[in-house]
Structure 1
Amino acid sequence: MLTPSQAGFRRLLPLLRPHLRELLWGGCCMVIYVGSFPLLVQLAGDLFPALGSGDLARVLQLIGLALLIFAVQKIAQFGQDSLLAGPALLVSQDLRRDLFRRLQTVELGALEKLSAGDLTYRFTEDADRVSEVLYKTIHDTVPSVLQLVAVLGMMLWLDWKLTLAILLLAPVIVWLISLFGARVMAATERSQKKVSELAGLLGEAIEGLPLVRAFAAEPWLQDRFETEIDQHRQARHRTYSLVALQHPVVGIIEVVGLFAVLALGAWRIQSGDLSIAGLSSYLTGLIVLIDPIAHVTNNFNEFQQGQASLRRLREIEREPQEAADPADAQAIGALQGDLVFDQVSFGYDPAQPVLRQLNLRVDAGQVLAIVGPSGAGKSTLLSLLLRFNTAQQGEIRLDGTDISLMRARELRQQVALVPQRTTVFSGTIAEAIRFGRRATDDEVRDAARLANADDFIRALPDGYDTQLEERGTNVSGGQLQRIAIARAVLGNPALLLLDEATSALDAEAEAAVQLGLKQAMKGRTVLVIAHRLATVQEADRIVVLEKGAVVDRGTHDELMQRGGRYRELCERQFIRDRQKS
């Protein structure tokens, strides 16, 4: 009945191997627990005739023996449940850990298409459901199946003809359970999809509430939310209805079987083929079978729901991964920062290149500004340098070594990024600057001073131990950007990448950040991307990109004198040639 599916619960079996000791001890307890049922069935058969004859001593003896067996059974059940819970939870933990590690290597283009709310639901609710199914399978479904086998064996021994007649109903029950299970899994997948969509909408709504209010769009958002929760309710109701229908259908078959046993048993007693004691044991065994059948039925429904959850988790494995480091990757050590783009072409769709045979050279310690209209390929150039994407043609060389021959982690430790929109994780300011790296308090403070951030950090009530709230909302945008600069220069990178680092700031905040940037840029190779061209005039060289190709290059003064695309862009922003000002 529990046949392997595309989700492949059997693929989780290797994760159980490290926990064989707990599984073996839990299995021993399970054998004791299941083995007690045939003994209790036999005792029940002996007890009824003793009650009928009025043999009090025999009744008390049988009751005492039954209590002893029952006590041993419950102790074994506790051992079984407690010992087997650990491996099931650890497997879920290992599954989460492995999938999260894999998520961190998903190509950024693919990652940006995934819903944060959906991913959150998969790593929380779906992973918990998989854990629950594993636990129930190990500690409940397996014992229930063994109990069915043990008690049915006892019933076959008591009266095989009567048991064979009852077993004619078994295929019907199995078929019904499988039929309902398949429909429950399909309904569960629809329900989980709706939950993921609801989680995604909630994430968008919470982040976008200021925008919603600014446009007075609250009724529109409320209507969207109510539509989502209604679709979610309908999907969940479909699942509940299927489960609710299954119980009475299977229950009716069980009752039919019980009455059939009573009728056949009475006939066999009348014919002298079965004793009262045998029928008592037989009926007790039949009653004992009802509970494991109910457990297997319920657990199969949950197993199917777990299949849906596991399938959704496994979908993460099918997302395209970043290119792996080459087997013969070279150790790069400390870089000087000489950078060359040699005939580099790249396109997210190879048929539509974003960069076309790009040639660019930046000497160590130089500041290169990259300007151009939106879509020219500026940010793509930085993503190639960080190995977020791989060039389809040409080479990018650092200190003469093709970056595709380097280990990605070592490369990124030498190339630091200050993005347009700063992302920080909750924690202290010192932890935000360290960002998972090992650094002393003095090194953190030195990086903050270099970024022009030390003064405002020390002025905070808890200094470097000040807790940053989610998304850094308890500090200003300029302060957050200076923390990002400190984070970038902490590891003393050879290359510093500035991607619109001041575009979202007001004039006062921009001035403070610009001072931090000037200090951070000293002695490093720097690539600056900026739409606000006033921020790139001091660069050693400026490159103008358009449609993925370099259309002009030079200093600010040279480009302004020459006219062309750069001057046109500057004049649109009301920047005048400094020689004429």
Structure 2
Amino acid sequence: EEQHKRNIELSTELQDRNHTAASISRFINVMMNITVIGTAAWLVLNNELTAGALIASVLLMRRAVAPVERSITSWKTLQNAKAAFKNIDRRLNLAPEFSQQPPLPLPAGYLSVRKVSFGYSNRGTPTLQEVTLKVHPGEVIGLTGNTAAGKSTLGRLIVGLAKPDSGYVRLDGIDVSRWREEDIGPRIGYLPQSSELFAGTVEENIARMGEVDEQEVVNAAQMSAVHEMILQFPQAYKTEIGEDGSFLSAGQRQRIALARAVYKNPKLLVLDEPDANLDVEGKIALASTIEIMKSRGAIIVFISHQEKVLRFADNVLRLRKGKVTMDLKFNTKKTAATEASPGTTSLATDAKKSAS
């Protein structure tokens, strides 16, 4: 909390300095214009300077002042670059410490978020304020709320892409920041709100641009019901998809990104608006994937602003302005091999009804 306030104070101080420098620059520019034009006009009236020379003097003065103005306006960029360099240097200095840590046991999947608060330096109000949740293996938790409620930020904190200002995010009782990337990476699946693919083949993207395990790639594609679609491509899994997946439609990119998220059966799966750009078939495939992952004991965090698509979740947290305003418990304990009573349906069936 104190660090967050300090960051806000430094940001405000930097903005004040930039505004002061810009004001001084404009004042000097105006005074130089007045001085040059006034002097040149006086000389013209005394027949000591021609009108053409007056115009030339004004143009030359403006060209002479332009580099000074640009240097002042570039001050903020220079300060941001300096701060970024310090941040990179600090992280690089921490690298030897991380590399010396003994490897931790592979996570089983228990997730605990305790009084987590987080804020961006350019915002006065924290994005998240004392959020708490617990999720056990084989459970689906939904996060819902209006735009800018903090849902996506919480998802990034859970997978370790950001560190909370206060509180903690733990997997199996260990802070996610303590896990080595090579240990925790394969155990986490993340589908961000804006899914990005990379220049390469379909199988390389599903394998997260690492060493391709062809069987695991096919397993992930089949689980996310995208295998048949990939086989229709010119070279199937070897098909080049272009920069940012430009050769694919938005729906195809989303479904391949889902296959990438479930590659090698992660223990923690975070899906941020995963049904965006999906047609009915894609939404059914998404629900089926969640059902399979749940039956395998994975923790699934499903983020959506539409509460109706979260009805298959075990619990739903509603966020508003960074705070949990409601905890809805649906008690829909369903698995892929549902021990169905006559009224019980699968997640895929729920998705089909919702889509229709």
2:111 aligned residue (339, 343, 360): 339
1:447 aligned residue (217, 220, 232): 220
TM-score by structure 2 length?
0.63
Aligned-partner Cα distance in 2 for 1:410–1:352:
35
Query: Cα–Cα, structure 1 residues 520 and 557, in superposed 2: closer, same or farther, change >3 Å?
Result: closer
Unaligned runs of 5+ in 2: 1-62, 333-352
> Could you say which residue in structure 2 is the equivalent of 1:551?
325
Aligned-partner Cα distance in 1 for 2:101–2:118:
22
Q: How is 1:178-577 mapped onto 2 (pairs within 5 angstroms)?
A: 318=85, 320-321=87-88, 324=94, 327=98, 329=101, 331-349=103-121, 352-523=125-296, 524-556=298-330
Question: CA offset at residue 318 of structure 1?
Answer: 1.8
Aligned-partner Cα distance in 2 for 1:491–1:315:
40
Question: CA offset at residue 338 of structure 1?
Answer: 0.5
Structural RMSD (CA): 3.4
CA contact (8 A) 2:254 2:278 kept: no
Identity %: 31
CA contact (8 A) 2:106 2:183 kept: no
Query: Cα–Cα, structure 1 residues 517 and 483, in superposed 2: closer, same or farther, change >3 Å?
Result: farther
Greater share of residues in strand: 2
Residue 326 of structure 2: SS of its match in structure 1?
strand
Question: CA offset at residue 481 of structure 1?
Answer: 1.6
CA contact (8 A) 1:528 1:536 kept: yes
Aligned-partner Cα distance in 2 for 1:434–1:392:
33
CA contact (8 A) 1:426 1:472 kept: yes
Query: Cα–Cα, structure 1 residues 513 and 406, in superposed 2: closer, same or farther, change >3 Å?
Result: closer
CA contact (8 A) 2:189 2:263 kept: no
> Could you say which residue in structure 2 is the equivalent of 1:146?
none
CA contact (8 A) 2:159 2:270 kept: no
Residue 108 of structure 2: SS of its match in structure 1?
coil
Aligned-partner Cα distance in 2 for 1:548–1:409:
31
Question: CA offset at residue 509 of structure 1?
Answer: 3.5
Structure 2: which amino acid aligns with 1:534? K
Residue 493 of structure 1: SS of its match in structure 2?
coil
Aligned-partner Cα distance in 2 for 1:467–1:332:
37
Residue 320 of structure 1: SS of its match in structure 2?
helix
Query: Cα–Cα, structure 1 residues 478 and 319, in superposed 2: closer, same or farther, change >3 Å?
Result: farther
Residue 543 of structure 1: SS of its match in structure 2?
strand
Q: How is 1:142-181 mapped onto 2 (pairs within 5 angstroms)?
A: none
Query: Cα–Cα, structure 1 residues 330 and 494, in superposed 2: closer, same or farther, change >3 Å?
Result: farther
Unaligned runs of 5+ in 1: 1-182, 195-310, 559-577
Question: CA offset at residue 502 of structure 1?
Answer: 0.8
Residue 490 of structure 1: SS of its match in structure 2?
coil
Which deviates more from structure 2 when the two are superposed, residues 354-363 or residues 507-516? 507-516
Structure 1: which amino acid aligns with 2:130? Q
- Which gives a bigger RCO, structure 1 or 2 (Cα 8 Å, sep 6+)? 2
Aligned-partner Cα distance in 2 for 1:363–1:509:
27
Aligned-partner Cα distance in 1 for 2:225–2:86:
41
Which deviates more from structure 2 when the two are superposed, residues 511-520 or residues 535-544? 511-520
Residue 287 of structure 2: SS of its match in structure 1?
helix
Question: CA offset at residue 317 of structure 1?
Answer: 5.9
Structure 2: which amino acid aligns with 1:358? V
Residue 197 of structure 2: SS of its match in structure 1?
coil
> Could you say which residue in structure 2 is the equivalent of 1:141?
none
Residue 134 of structure 2: SS of its match in structure 1?
strand
Residue 553 of structure 1: SS of its match in structure 2?
strand
Question: CA offset at residue 329 of structure 1?
Answer: 4.0
Question: CA offset at residue 320 of structure 1?
Answer: 3.0
Query: Cα–Cα, structure 1 residues 399 and 332, in superposed 2: closer, same or farther, change >3 Å?
Result: same
Aligned-partner Cα distance in 1 for 2:285–2:249:
12
Question: CA offset at residue 339 of structure 1?
Answer: 0.6
Aligned-partner Cα distance in 2 for 1:414–1:431:
18
Residue 87 of structure 2: SS of its match in structure 1?
coil
Aligned-partner Cα distance in 2 for 1:505–1:357:
33
Question: CA offset at residue 500 of structure 1?
Answer: 0.4
TM-score by structure 1 length?
0.40
> Could you say which residue in structure 2 is the equivalent of 1:37?
none
Structure 1: which amino acid aligns with 2:87? P
Aligned-partner Cα distance in 1 for 2:286–2:331:
24
